[in-house]
Copies of this chain bind each other. A is one copy, B any other.
Amino acid sequence: MQNENNYILFVILSGVIAMAFAFWKTSWINRQKEGNERMQFIGKSIADGAMAFLRAEYRILAVFVVAVAFILGYANSGRSDSSALISLSFIVGASASGLAGFLGMRVATKANNRTTHAAETSLAKALNVAFSGGAVMGLSVVGLGVLGLGILFYVYKSMEIFNNDTSMILNVLSGFSLGASSIALFARVGGGIYTKAADVGADLVGKVESGIPEDHPLNPATIADNVGDNVGDVAGMGADLFESYVGSIIGSMVLGSTLFAYGVGFDISFVILPLVIAGAGIIVSIIGTFMVSVKDGGDPQKGLNQGEFGSGIIMVAVIYFLITSLLPEKFTTQEGAGVTYDSLGVFYATIIGLFGGLGIGKITEYYTGTGTKPVMSITKQSMTGPATNIIAGLGIGMESTAVPVIIISGSIMGAYHFAGLYGIAMAALGMLANTGIQLAVDAYGPISDNAGGIAEMAELPKEVRERTDKLDAVGNTTAAIGKGFAIGSAALTALALFAAFKVKTGIDIINISDPMVMAGLFIGGMLPFLFSSMAMGAVGRAAMAMIEEVRRQFKEIPELKKALEIMNLKKREDWSEEDNKVYNDALGKAEHGKCVEISTESAIREMLLPGLLAVVTPVVVGFAPRMFGSNQGPEILGGLLAGVTVTGVCMAIFQSNSGGAWDNAKKMIEEGVEIDGQKLSKGSEAHKAAVVGDTVGDPFKDTSGPSLNILIKLMSVVSLVIAPLIK
């Protein structure tokens, strides 16, 4: 490759374009109107709460980042002049991840009440605002990702101490991925705990015990609940996808560099290709955002599909063009006995990833979508009570692992057949090539959700809430597809990192019939169970604290107590003037700030242990065998990684889909479904049973489930980073 620097500059440029686009969209959103005073106040409370959480979280994480950077630098300092620079990569990666979360959340907390206001006029306008918010998030994530990687790669390449040794540069660059993954895990776990504690607290005391509607202004936990949507679903998801995106790029770069590790004919095209595809994906994503539009009275689902599938098709063409023009037509690697592949094979592998992700998404939709057979069966089982609802949901979730795992295995085999290990990495990249627009669609969901909450709290007319609900509902389908890509790419990326780990530790094989490796496999397989139990326990404890606080306020704040009594006694139409006065007096008396504080504190405290488990375990397993005089550390660690990947993927699918199916089974009853000639509705016994399922599903689908995706990759990347040290 003659003009490699030009390609890298193109990548950096695409990152700049992404940030400029995000900036332009943000200022457009800022120019939209926020609605009446009450809406402004609510919007501000949510934004303040969210920022307070982020500040508290980042303060803790800053300590973690500095400490790890120091250890990384120290541990690597002896090896070569350049290797301590891994600390720099780590800090940049962690900061970029944090910044992506911050930017996305800031715009989301601005877009939410503006979406509500727009929904007062029309659905189309509301979609436009909400989707613009999502687009800022999406483009910030990919923009910061390629900018960070592109600039660091460019700088390292031009530094003399690296002597243009790509392998060493990638060693150091992998710190970027480590930074992104560790921040992501903490953000996902912390955000997940926050949002579920607030949600359960608000629901259990507000809705169930005190009988006031969801998102009611008198419920002290509502602001925390809405803050939770932002810190969990927006910032958490942003950090999550940032690390997936970065991980898949780095994974393919490393494998591209080791393809010819033992042979002659090293070709940097294979290393640069992933970056270039990512850069091109940004441009395609931006084009995709312009395809999203809906006319008034039209179907918002169609609008989103246009953008997502339209850009998907363009992406396939772009990938074909880039692969065939950048890579040599035929190339012989040192894998096995020098297999020969061709560039078309790399294209096929990438496309296998894309279709695999789509397939998993469709299966996810089947198992969790409203009205599908599995969800209907849960609805039916709700009629005999909560126990049968729970058994059905657990069963569905477990069953739903089958096809995705077969697709993942098939993709692995197919991609490997067409382009070896590099093909597997490229398949993962293929799933994430247009993350920009995918994330825009994903992030648009919680913004619409928040907009609905604000409509409720500001007591706006019913049709406003109906419009935001419509927006929220269509987001679910596309979100399911997004989840498919997330899980599929996690498995493939972990595999790519695993392969890279093997190369970097210099071990040829990891023999599973060696009992030491098997012991590692067992422990690895158990970790997702332990991790999930920690996350669920944390949600339970945090929710308990929230429940107690809400109960306290309802008991000790006289205005609230009085207003609640009136609300439970008479319908609003029958209120006297006196009643209305009492009610209006109570507004603003709920101490929302206290609830926000409690959620923040619990989430920060509880995220540490599971996070550290993920970071520390590979280090211990990698180094400990030495103390017993064994040099099998790398193999045992390899077994551990394989175990954690396999169980982690299954547990993630199981938990996410059980949670999703329970959620929609409940929604179907609320919408009034008919089963065996019996009409179910809100307030029925079946509904109560379905609410139990939904509550159980909450930590499953929003805390432990999605965190497992990150856990898998974080452990792989930690192993990759320590690989040269345990060699």
Contact = CB atoms under 8 A, between A and B. Distances in A.
A413 interface: yes
Nearest to A531: B398
Nearest to A424: B515
A446 to B, nearest CB: 23
A643 interface: yes
Nearest to A642: B512
Contacts of A539: 391
Contact of A515 (B396, B398, B412, B522): B412
A638 B512 contact: yes
Given A402-B529, A518-B642, 10 more contacts: A204-B385, A386-B692, A394-B536, A395-B532, A399-B537, A408-B522, A410-B519, A495-B515, A521-B646, A692-B692
A405 B515 contact: no
Interface residues of A, number: 78
Contact of A523 (B398, B409, B515): B409
B401 A537 contact: no
B390 A536 contact: no
Contacts of A406: 523, 526
Given A390-B390, A495-B518, A522-B408, A204 B384 contact: yes
B529 A409 contact: no
Main SS of the interface on chain A?
helix
B647 A650 contact: yes
A421 B387 CA distance: 44
Interface string A162-197: 000000000000000000000000000000000000
A619 interface: no
Given A529-B398, A696-B387, A381 B540 contact: yes
A530 B399 contact: yes
A30 to B, nearest CB: 41
B512 A512 contact: yes
7 contacts: A381-B540, A386-B386, A386-B692, A391-B540, A406-B526, A526-B650, A647-B647
A526 B696 contact: no
Interface in A463-505: 491, 495, 498-499, 502
A722 B181 CA distance: 43
Nearest to A520: B409
A195 to B, nearest CB: 15
A416 interface: yes
B533 A396 contact: yes
Nearest to A516: B413
B530 A513 contact: no
A510 interface: yes
A121 interface: no
Nearest to A530: B402
